[in-house]
Every structure is written in C-alpha cells, then in structure tokens.
C-alpha cells in the first residue's frame, strides 16, 4: 500500500510541469551541444567515407536521408507511447509530449521524403515513384499533418489531447497493415540493409558515419522536442494567466466596502 502511494508521489513529482521546466532548462543546452558535436563529427566521417563505385557522390545523401527516415518512425512510436500515457494514466505531460512531437515528426518525415527524392532523381531518373516504401512514408507524413491539424482544431487542450491520442493509436495499429498492403502493391525501394538477421549487409566504413549521424539527429530531435514541450507548457500558462487576469479584473469593485 505504502509502495503504491510512494510511486504515485514520485509520478506526480515527475508530472509537475514546473519541475519539468527546470530539468528541461538544464538539459537543453547540453543536448544541443551534444547534437552539434555529433552532427559535425558525423558529417566529417561521412565525407571521409569512400564513395560508392556505382552511385558516386550521391550516395552521401544517405547519411542524412536514413537518419531522417528512422526518426520519422521513432517519433511516431514516441507519440504512440505518449498517447497511451494520455489515455491510460492521464499524465499531464503526456499530452504536451504528443502535441509537440507531431510537428517535429512531420518535419523529419518531410525531410526524409525530400532527401529521398533528391537521391532518387539521379538513381531512378524521377523525383517520385509510387513505390511501397516511399508511399508508406508519404502516408505517415499525411498522418502527422492530420494529427497536427487535430491538435490545433480544438480550443480546449484537454479535449484536443484525448482526440489526438485516440487518432495516434488508431494510426499506430494501422501502420503495419498499411506497410504490408503497400508492400504487396508495388516495390522498387532497396530492402532493409542495416537491421536484419545475419548482420548488416552494408560495409562498416559506411556504417560508422551513418551510426554517428543517426545518433546526432536523434539527440537533435530530443532537443527540439524538449524545447517544443517547454514552449507548449509556457503557452498553456499564458492562456491560464489570461483567464485569471480576466477574473481578477472584476475583483477591485467587489472588494471596495
């Protein structure tokens, strides 16, 4: 019994937006610095890495394209976790996390699409093909935008959060189905080459810079997300303060005896 009360206490401690703001204020500069160092190192490594004998210099776009695509999916997973947090535990920070992750995720997805089509133009001779992998990422992008529109459409943040959480979870269980159905539909994109049974097929000289870049972008994503959450908490405080100010404006007349 005491165990439960202690755990709820620590949970509510974490949930406290003021504490969160204090932690975020301390973390953000460090994370930003780490992201900058990692990305600089990653870029250096990427340009030192040997060029592909077939694809030439264009292969280097992989070092940013692949991390963007990973992050597009990581961000959605994070949003799904936050959605569970909103619906099941009603954690006050979960809906802030969900709401603010959506635009960041949409931007990373858009960057994955753009870098992909810049890569695809010399390789496939066209900016875009309706290939399975590309199509499912495009659908993911539309889902991100839909959630952004949903969180902006409702005035009351609590109701908007629950609606967005439900949509996010519906999308999350739908992603595998979309993925498979699109795979059956048509495919041209190369198969997964890093995470697969029997070890990566990609050469280690390319894998190292890719790993550093992926880590760098992940840290960058976390930095951006923390900053966005901080903004959202402040925005809600401003809205609350406006309501308080409107109420307080009535008081002096009542106080005068």
Q: Pick the closer one to another protein by CB: 174 or 186.
A: 186
Q: Which of residues 157-196 bind another protein (CB under 8 A)?
A: 185-186
257 touches another protein (CB under 8 A): no
Q: Pick the closer one to another protein by CB: 4 or 253.
A: 253
40 touches another protein (CB under 8 A): no
Q: State both tokens at 208.
A: 């190292």
Phi, psi of 118 (to 5 degrees): -65, -35
Q: Pick the closer one to another protein by CB: 5 or 250.
A: 250
Stretch that binds another protein, among 81-89, 153-161, 163-171, 212-220 (CB under 8 A): 153-161
- Alpha-carbon gap, residue 12 to 17, rounded angstroms: 10
How many C-beta atoms lie closer than 10 Å to residue 227's C-beta? 16
126 touches another protein (CB under 8 A): yes
The widest CA-to-CA distance across the chain, in whole angstroms, is 88
Output the CA–CA distances (angstroms, integers) from residue 40 to 33, 181, 209, 220, 238, in the order listed.
11, 39, 11, 12, 37
The binding site for another protein (CB under 8 A) comprises 117, 126-131, 135, 138-139, 142, 145-146, 148-149, 152-155, 185-186, 239, 242-243, 245-247, 249-250, 253
């Amino acid at each position: 019994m005491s165990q439960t009360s202690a755990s709820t206490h620590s949970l509510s401690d974490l949930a406290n937006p003021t504490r969160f703001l204090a932690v975020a204020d301390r973390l953000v500069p460090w994370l930003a610095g780490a992201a900058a160092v990692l990305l600089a190192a990653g870029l250096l490594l990427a340009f030192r890495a040997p060029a592909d004998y077939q694809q030439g210099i264009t292969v280097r776009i992989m070092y940013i394209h692949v991390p963007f695509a990973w992050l597009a999916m990581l961000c959605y997973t994070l949003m799904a976790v936050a959605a569970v947090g909103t619906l099941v535990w009603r954690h006050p920070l979960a809906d802030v996390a969900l709401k603010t992750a959506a635009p960041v995720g949409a931007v990373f997805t858009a960057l994955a699409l753009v870098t992909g089509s810049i890569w695809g133009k010399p390789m496939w001779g066209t900016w875009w093909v309706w290939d399975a992998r590309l199509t499912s990422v495009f659908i993911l992008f539309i889902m991100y935008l839909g959630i952004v529109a949903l969180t902006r459409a409702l005035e009351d943040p609590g109701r908007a959060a629950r609606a967005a959480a439900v949509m996010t979870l519906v999308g999350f269980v739908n992603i595998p189905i979309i993925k498979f159905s699109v795979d059956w539909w048509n495919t041209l994109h190369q198969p997964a080459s890093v995470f697969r049974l029997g070890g990566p097929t990609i050469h280690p000289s390319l894998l190292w810079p890719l790993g550093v870049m992926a880590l760098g972008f992940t840290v960058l994503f976390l930095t951006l997300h923390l900053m966005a959450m901080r903004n959202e908490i402040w925005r809600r405080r401003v809205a609350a303060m406006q309501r308080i100010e409107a109420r307080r404006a009535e008081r002096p007349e009542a106080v005068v005896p």
